[in-house]
Amino acid sequence: MLVIRRHSGDAISVGDEVEIEIIECGVNRVKLGIRAPQHISVLRREVKLTRDQNLAAAQSMSGAARPGMLAPFAGGKPS
Amino acid sequence: MTFNSAHLGRIEVDESSTIEFPRGLPGFEDRHRFLLMHHPANEGLVFLQSLETPDLCFLALPARSIRDDYQLAIPDEDLEVLGYPHGHCPEIGKDVIALAVLSLVEGESPTANLLSPVIIQTHTRRAVQAIRTDDRYRCREPLVVEEAVCS
């Protein structure tokens, strides 16, 4: 991993299309500005993790992945 | 009305038991209406069935049934969706239901997402998947499966 020190107002280029600017530095938070073309997805890591996990969870329920779990469902009641 | 779920078959939908995700869920941003149903053989387990996509259904467990001391940390933007002021901390069981979405990938141990619980406001039935910004719980928290769930 590349580790570099930057000040507020400094920026980093990633490839030709992505630029990350350090807008503000606080005590334990930094504010970043990210400029990237539309085809590059920019997500907070926890959002990406959640998204991937939701897709896997939905996938795991599809088809007959869990027939035993769903079989006794007849007569289930809404809460 | 009745709804044909790809997983659960034909189910009765009582409008008052539907929940609404105004912003959808990460990965499913355009799915807003879900039905919350208890598993008949295992009261703890709940299904979150999309009312817009018959084959979209999540299985979930109350966060406190996985960690009995589970504490909420809801970002302000998610509190807004639920109708709470910034910094508010709703109470699990009284104000909100907190569910952890389960992932049951074939050949892998089941996991629960405690990083991003689904929070349902019990009165308005508005819901949001509130992603924590701390690292107190994991996105793939290993789950000990009881025999009753597997059989």
Give the model confidence (pLDDT) of A5-64 as tens digits: 999 999 999 999 999 999 999 998 899 999 999 999 898 999 999 999 999 999 888 754
Min Cα distance A25 → chain B (Å) is 18
Q: What is the distance of C-alpha B46 from the center of its chain?
A: 8
Task: Identify any residues that bridge with B14 across adjacent strands, giving them in sequence order.
Answer: none
Cβ atoms of B99 and B118 within 8 Å: the answer is: yes
B138: pLDDT strictly greater than 90: yes
A77: pLDDT strictly greater than 70: no
Min Cα distance B28 → chain A (Å) is 8
Q: For residue B24, list chain A residues with Cβ-Cβ distance below 8 A.
A: none
Q: Please report which confidence band the pLDDT of residue B107 belongs to, taking 50, 70 and 90 as the band edges.
A: confident
pLDDT confidence of residue B17: 80
Q: Which residue has the higher pLDDT, B135 or B149?
A: B135
The tokens 């007849």 sit on which residue?
A74
- Ranking A33-37, B67-71, B86-90, B147-151 by mean pLDDT, the lowest is B147-151
The tokens 């997402």 sit on which residue?
B113
Q: For residue B134, list chain A residues with Cβ-Cβ distance below 8 A.
A: none
pLDDT confidence of residue B39: 82
Count CB-CB contacts under 10 A for residue B36: 20
Q: Which residues contact B109 (CB under 8 A, 6 or more apart)?
A: B142, B143
Q: For residue A45, list chain B residues with Cβ-Cβ distance below 8 A.
A: none
Q: Considering chain B, what is the average pLDDT of its residues?
A: 90
Contact B105 A56 (CB under 8 A): yes
Name the token pair of B9: 């078959």
Contact A74 B27 (CB under 8 A): no
Contact A57 B13 (CB under 8 A): no
Cβ atoms of B142 and B113 within 8 Å: the answer is: no
The vertex-B59 CA angle with B24 and B49, nearest 5°, equals: 50
Min Cα distance B40 → chain A (Å) is 5
A75: pLDDT strictly greater than 80: no
Q: For residue A49, list chain B residues with Cβ-Cβ distance below 8 A.
A: 115-116, 139
Q: Which residues contact A40 (CB under 8 A, 6 or more apart)?
A: A17, A18
Q: What percent of chain B has pLDDT above 90?
A: 69
Cα distance between residue B139 and residue B115, in whole Å: 5
pLDDT confidence of residue B145: 61
